[in-house]
Structures are given as structure tokens and as C-alpha cells.
Structure 1
């Protein structure tokens, strides 16, 4: 099956420059808004479009600079025999290898490919050609014949694609079964009958109007209108292939289906069409679909096929899509701020796949804080809630997402985000020191670390940080959420004389009591879920943050500064 090997885009809309080597099968692009995701799909469609009457405007140029021409090149491999004809196309044949990339000269160890080039300069006239450096230097031009061009044309599964539910030039139904040539006479006869039957049915409703027409015609001497009647206009009801459309059993046109249902049906029809385009473009694949139907659409597009039948390019902002796809099917588009768009992939490892499954929502944010576990996530969420209630900027408002590091998996997960080009931070406790190898892997990936005092878990750091009043409140929450018997039992395991009633702010809380409390909270798992961590962050830590001691408030402020940078 014909496949796109490389896409080069320059000075097109929001993309100053992008070079992308997509893979066979599904290529899903995620990323923040305005990073060129949809522009890449449009670039493919416009370059391979069979139509040559496309309209461009100044707004299609990077930053409206019409002095820098739009230049889009789509390199295609697994060529049909017609395009492998050396006599005609040898001058534009190029070479490609998955490891080496694109070479202007074909070679024995390289796949023969061609590059379709679209350029638009300030006259706004699009120009297409088959491109190679050699042909360009010699002033030689080649174009794809219309028949081959039609075979390469991408199919776009848009938000509104109901034209596929009727027979027409661009309909997928035409590829399943063309309207036979003899149907023209039947359509003409149907039009004649419709005009006549409408006239009989409409006479009563339009009689008064017709009387006026007859009177005016008589006065004006227009003999041809003296006996005018009301029939459907011959031009207005000129039936064609596009007039034949799919209807349900009650005669209701299927174009009345909801957006999601239409997309599912059309995607299925495209998959069933043996002559369907080798390329499918889908912007916002989740649009109009519930989660279970998003998954069905992805399967229809070939997301689980071992040998994909077509190459699919889609964009998404859906965590459902991120979870459902394989790690090696997902690309992240990122703009460096100058219009240079880069596309990143993970290594496709098992750990990367686990990260996509566990932290799908975080992949849809521009920067990520990987938290060691649910307690740390809850604390940060609680702090953000308190800040939001006090009209202060939150981590979420700055575009930072929280991801669950899964304890021992936190390094692998942080590195998975960093490899996709995300600004990535890791927030962890410090009761288990990292090895030099672990520290090196984080540094190599570019992950910024934030951690508590050496040797302390999050629960222990809280107990050393909070003032006496908030320690008392912390114990109250532990009792409310876990039960007095459990809390007292965990405390007695640390010190036989200790119980929850001992933590009274008015009597003062000793260092020994803080130490035992932190160890009991850690061992007993008092706050080991997001909801409990959230409550501690919102009700205990946030109100007392300015009066806390130790490293915790400093680290939290440094983390906020990193997000805001």
C-alpha cells in the first residue's frame, strides 16, 4: 500500500518549518493548541489533492509574509507501477531508508520514492510538480497523470462529511458501486413525474396566486403565461448521480444522522472500499462521539491491525484516544516559539505504554509534574483548590498537568514525558535515595527534580513542617477518614503511650511526637489516595503555608516558579 515517508512544510499558516517522517498505519498527533497539528493534515490534503482549482490567500502564509513562498513536499513510497516507470519518472525518483532518511539519488539499498511539491508565491497561484534536486537543477518538470493523482488523493473524514452518504464525484459510495450509466434515463423520468405530481397537489394552495399571474399576463399581453400553473422547476429538479442518497427504512435521508454516527458509518464505508484512498485524514477524531464509539472508530480506522491497509493521520485532544492507541502510534507536535514545529515519539517500550495508559490526561498539557504517588498529587490539587478560592493563579491555569508516577515507576514515567518534548518535573519524597544511574537518566532526559528533606517521606515532611495547630488538625482528619481505632493502633505501634488525643496544640507537640506521628501516618497509609491528600493540602497545608518551617514550603514555591517560567 502506498505510504507517505516524509512531509516537509515551510511557511504555511502557523508552521514556519516542519519535517516529519510518519509511520505506516495510524499516526495520531497530540499537542497544545496552535502547534500545527491541523496544518500538517491540511498540507497533506492540499499537496495530494486531485483538484487544481484550490484557492489561497495571504492568511495561508507564515505570519502573512508573502515574500516567503509556501513550500510543501510530500514524499511517497511503495509506488504504483505507473510511477516506477524509469523512462518517464527516473529524473524525479529519489531514495529513502527508514534509518538514513531521504536521499536525492535512488540507490540499490534504498526504496524508490517520489516527492510531490506544492508551492504558492505572492501571486497566490498554487503550482504542483514532482520534485528532485536533479530535476530542479536541470529545469525538468514532471507531473503525476490525473488517473494516478486521483488514486493518491487523501480522504478527509471531517466534521461534516455527509456528501459521502450520496453518490457523487467525491463520495466513497462511488468507489463501492458507481451509478450505472443507464440510470440517467430513469432519473430524468423521475424528475418529470415529480414535476407533474407536484403541480396537481399544489393547485389548491397556489390558486389565488395563479389567478393574479393570469390577470397580469392578460393585461400585459403575455400569451405564454395566460394558463401558467405551478410545477417544480425543470432546472431546480434536474436529477444527477448526487441525487441518489442513502435513506433509512422509513425513507429519512441518512444525512440526518448525528455527527458521530455519520463519521462512524463513513469510516466503515471507507474501510470497505477496495479502491479507497491509501491516506485518511481525521481532524479531532473524537468529535461528536462518546468514549465507547471513539474506540470503535479507531478500530475501524485500523488502530489494531498488524498489517495496516492504509495510512491514517489524525489529531486529538481526547484522553480516550491516548489510552486506546499504542505508544508508537502517537506523536507530539511542539512549537519552539519560532514557528519550527517538531514531532516527538516515545521509544514504544512497555513502560512508555504503561505511562500512556495511566497518565493519558497529562499528555494533553504543555508541561507535566510527575508526582511520586497519589498523596503528592492530592497535596498539589488541594493547594491549587485553596489558591483558586483565594483568586490566586493555580498550576492548572499555568498549563501544568499532574501525573501519577506510580511509586517505583516514577522515573520511567517522567522520562517518557520528557522524551516527547514536555517540560517535565518530578516531585518525590526522599525516604529512598536514588542511585547515580537513576539520577543520570533523569538528568539526561531533562527532568527537573523537586524533593523533600533527605530521608523523609511526604507524611514525615508534613509532620516536621506544620505548626502545632495544623498538626492537631492533621490528626483530626486522620481520625475522621481512617477511624480512631486504626490511628491509635498505628501510633501505639510506634510508642505504647501514644494516641491521637496526645496531639493537642495548646499543650505543645514535641519533636518525638512529630517523628512518631509521621512514621505512623506513612506506615498506616493514612493519606494514600488523591482525595485524602487533597483534603490535607486544602484544609491543613495551604492555610498554614506561610508559617510552615523546613524545606516543604521552599520546594513548593520553587515548583510554582518552575511552572511559571
Structure 2
């Protein structure tokens, strides 16, 4: 059943049209009296369709579902774009054996009409068995008449006396008993139990797993199964077991949707497709794109969460990821800007500047909107040529001027109060003043004042602090980078640094976030 909410923007003026290519056809579909004249060709290697069958091509049918403002679905077999098609009959659609495992699985744990259990029991005389169950219930109650029906029979005696008084014929005697018509045991009333507990009481994940297993038993011929959000209700170890079970089914084809990084890590690029929606247009991109498949497999293992967002910021390392998380906290709580989550943005740790370009290019080729945040202190790892190449394919690049790391850039550009706040953040993280001062002194050299309370602003001290923070990994964990950003983000609006490289680069990134 369709309603107005199924249309794009809930407007029936945006008619629905969905097409699929159906292969591995049963012989009856090739019959000229069926759909033989509408066959097309499918190249299994290039995954492309031709209007006509041919050598080296698999016979296939192009099926189209359309729904307009009358809400009536229309199924057609079409040969080309201009073809109005011929009706794809309901009896033939049933032969394709498409089924859905959704959020509600209770019906499939009963012998309801069309349920999986009914399919598994179709060789039995279910009607006769249910009638016998009703008779058995009546006999069981008769055996307990003295214990359970005494009060009811007393009323029955009163009714019999009244009947005789009024001349109503009584063949034997009145008594309370079950009406076999009223207690007709319907198929839906017969359900699977674990001992005395009906299996509908199981958790959602357990019910879906059981339903999936039963369906595999019921659909022994080729089938197509749609599984909506496969991870719902399941712990990671059970997700892994379920996916293994599905992949072992050689008779069926499964289409799964997921929002779970656990599912992504359990599958390979051969299994995965990324679905993008842009203004109502849906694009599905295969993750096993030949040029990048090997690289992407490892990225999915290490950063699966990012692949579930439409926009990805590729960060050089953990410091950048943490710093941006802290900026997100500041922007949403203080400046009333939309959060990364609201804008559909995920952060990806590339684990090194030398990997940033490859990761960003690969993600872009998979249809993601991509930005990068990278240091400029290692030209052999990420050069201006790398930056230009990424900008050339529409990737926003945040790369600090001056051959500096993020630590050096922040210590160089922020107001002095933020510089001291950064050092205080490092003190809180490391809880070892002597160690921190030794590190700064190593970078500063002669004339270094170890009394940090007495420090005054100066380029030499700023440089030493930035280099020490970089070399000694003061903030090189996501949680540390986030603490650092929390300590300094309140100073980003200072008018004295409005024209600094740090603010210009962060403004560029924020513009990309907001699609400015």
C-alpha cells in the first residue's frame, strides 16, 4: 500500500519509478507467449544492460514499478526507455520470490496465512489439524466439568427449567460447553513456543535471526530477500553470525541496508554499495571499484563510521580529529552553528599526511563530499601538488601556511591568553611540569625561563611551545585534541587574529560544512 508520504517531498506530483534488472530467469519467462519478446541482455562482467539479448550476454528482464498520484502501483516489463511495456503479472512476480524481513517478525513465528511456517507446513493438512485441536479443547474441558464448570452448569439448569416451563423442547439436558464454531482455532492462533513461552516474547534481534533462518529453509529455490537494517536488536557477535549465515545461502540474493559500522567491518568491498541521495536522486556506488578496492577495504576496517556519513573530513591524524571535535562542541554551544552530526559530517583519521591524498581521492570516487585538514610541515608527505590535485576534483583542502603543523599554527596565531591556555591544557593532560618544561627548553635553547607563570608573549617562546607540542605529542590523541580545542576555542572570535592563517583556514572549512 502506498500513500502520499512515499513520494519525494510527500508530493504525489513526484511520481515513483523504480527499475530492476532480473536475471537467472525461469524458462517460462523466456516463452514468447510470456516475456520472450521483451528480453534484454545483461553483461555480468561490466554490469551493463543492452536492449537486446546477444552472445556472451545473460538473458534478462527489465522490470519497472511506477506509482502516480492515484497511488496504484503498475508493474511492467519494458525493453527500452520509450517502451510502454507489458504488464508483469502478480503470479509471475510471486515466482521471483521476493520477501522482506523488517522490524516486525511476529507473524512469521505463527502459522498465519503466507507466513514462513505456513510455507514449511504446506504439505500438511493444516485445516484438519486445527479442527482436531478445537475438538481436543472441548474434550479436555468436559473432563474437568466438576472442577471448572459447576457455577456455569447451575445457570444452565435455570435455563433448562425456563425452557421446559415455556414449552421449549429439551432433548437431553442443558449444560455449559465450548462452542466449536466460537473456539475455531485459526492458523494465526497456532504459534511457535519455547516450552510454555511463545517465541513472540523473544527480543527483536533474536526474532529476526530466527525468521531469517526459517526463511532460508522455506525458500530453497532462487529468491530475493530484502533485509531492512540488519543490525537492529543484535549484538556485534550475533551480527557476524547472521551475516555469515546469509553469505552461505547460495540459492538467494540478499539486499541489506545498514547504519552500523559493525556490519561494514564484517563484510568486504565485494559485498558493499554506498547509497547517496541528492535532491531526490538516488545513486548507488559499488565499493569494489577496481582501482581503489584494495585500498578501501583497509579504510573500511579502520574507519567504518565515516563511511556512513555523506560528508567526510579526512584528517592527517588524531590531533586534528580531536581538535575538530572540540571545535564542533564550541561552534554548536557558543556560536549557535549546526553540529557536524546535523550536517552529516564524519571525521576520518588518515594516520599520516602521506595517506591523506589517497584516502580523499578514494572517498571522492565513491561519491562522498570530502574535505581534508593536513599539516604543511612535510612536503614529501603532502605537497602543494597534492593539494592542487585534490582541489582540482572538488575537494576542499585546509593546509596551513608557513610549513607548519597544527600545533605550530595554533601557538603562532592565537592570542597570548590562548597560548597559555594551551600550555595549561597540556599540564592537565600530562600532569608532569618538569617533563613539559624540559621539552620546551629543548626547542627554545639558551635563555629559556622555566617559570611559566612569568612568561610573556614573544615569537621565540611561541615557536618553542609549538615545536614542543608537535615533537612530544602533547595532544596526539583524539580526547587530548578535544581538550585542547575546548581550552582555546573561546579565543577564535578575537578581532586581533581575524586575518590570521588559522582563522582563514578554519573559516574555509566552516564554509564547506555549511555549504557556503
Q: What's the TM-score, normalizing by structure 1?
A: 0.78
Question: What's the counterpart of residue 341 of structure 1?
Answer: 282
SS of match in other structure, 2:273: strand
The superposition leaves residues 152-204 of structure 1 with CA deviations (integer Å, 9 ceiling, x where unpaired) of 121211111222223454233345454523x6444322211202433636424
Question: Matches of 2:166 and 2:483 in 1, distance apart?
Answer: 87
Q: Does 1:318 align with 2:263?
A: no
SS of match in other structure, 1:526: coil
Question: Matches of 1:296 and 1:425 in 2, distance apart?
Answer: 36
Q: Does 1:192 align with 2:146?
A: no
Q: Does 1:489 align with 2:438?
A: yes
Question: What's the counterpart of residue 345 of structure 2?
Answer: 400
Q: Does 1:281 align with 2:226?
A: yes
Q: Does 1:501 align with 2:450?
A: yes
Counterparts in 2 of 1:220 and 1:276: CA distance versus 1, 3 Å: farther
| Maintained 8 Å contact 1:414/1:426 | yes
Counterparts in 2 of 1:445 and 1:134: CA distance versus 1, 3 Å: closer
Counterparts in 2 of 1:529 and 1:103: CA distance versus 1, 3 Å: same
Question: What's the counterpart of residue 245 of structure 2?
Answer: 300
State the shift of 1:426 in Å. 0.6
Counterparts in 2 of 1:208 and 1:475: CA distance versus 1, 3 Å: farther
Question: Matches of 1:362 and 1:563 in 2, distance apart?
Answer: 15
Question: Matches of 1:515 and 1:122 in 2, distance apart?
Answer: 67
Question: Matches of 1:102 and 1:451 in 2, distance apart?
Answer: 44
Question: Matches of 1:499 and 1:226 in 2, distance apart?
Answer: 115
Counterparts in 2 of 1:516 and 1:123: CA distance versus 1, 3 Å: closer
Equivalences for residues 86-485 of structure 1 within 5 A:
88-98=34-44, 99=46, 101-121=48-68, 123-133=70-80, 141=86, 143=88, 146=91, 149-181=93-125, 184-198=127-141, 200=145, 202-204=148-150, 206=152, 229-239=175-185, 243-248=189-194, 250-273=195-218, 275=220, 278-302=223-247, 308-337=250-279, 339-346=280-287, 347=289, 349-390=293-334, 392-396=336-340, 397-407=342-352, 408-433=354-379, 434-435=382-383, 438-439=386-387, 441-482=389-430, 483-485=432-434
Question: Matches of 1:544 and 1:205 in 2, distance apart?
Answer: 84
Question: Matches of 2:505 and 2:253 in 1, distance apart?
Answer: 46
Q: What's the TM-score, normalizing by structure 2?
A: 0.85
State the shift of 1:502 in Å. 4.6
Question: Matches of 1:364 and 1:450 in 2, distance apart?
Answer: 23
The superposition leaves residues 274-320 of structure 1 with CA deviations (integer Å, 9 ceiling, x where unpaired) of 62552111112222222222222222221xx5x85421112222222
Question: What's the counterpart of residue 553 of structure 1?
Answer: 503
Question: What's the counterpart of residue 50 of structure 1?
Answer: none
Q: Does 1:516 align with 2:460?
A: no
Question: Matches of 1:453 and 1:460 in 2, distance apart?
Answer: 11
Q: Which moved more, 1:413-422 or 1:521-530?
A: 413-422
| Maintained 8 Å contact 2:108/2:211 | yes
SS of match in other structure, 2:205: helix
Unaligned 5+ segments in structure 1 are 1-54
Question: Matches of 1:288 and 1:440 in 2, distance apart?
Answer: 46
Q: Which moved more, 1:252-261 or 1:343-352?
A: 343-352
Higher relative contact order (CA 8 A, sep 6+): 1
State the shift of 1:431 in Å. 0.7
Number of equivalent positions? 501
State the shift of 1:457 in Å. 0.5
Question: Matches of 2:165 and 2:57 in 1, distance apart?
Answer: 83
Question: Matches of 1:437 and 1:134 in 2, distance apart?
Answer: 44
| Maintained 8 Å contact 2:230/2:257 | yes
Q: Which moved more, 1:199-208 or 1:163-172?
A: 199-208
Question: Matches of 2:253 and 2:384 in 1, distance apart?
Answer: 43
Question: Matches of 1:480 and 1:119 in 2, distance apart?
Answer: 62
Counterparts in 2 of 1:435 and 1:460: CA distance versus 1, 3 Å: closer
Unaligned 5+ segments in structure 2 are none
Q: Which moved more, 1:195-204 or 1:259-268?
A: 195-204
State the shift of 1:57 in Å. 4.3
State the shift of 1:254 in Å. 1.7
| Maintained 8 Å contact 2:163/2:169 | yes
Counterparts in 2 of 1:144 and 1:527: CA distance versus 1, 3 Å: same
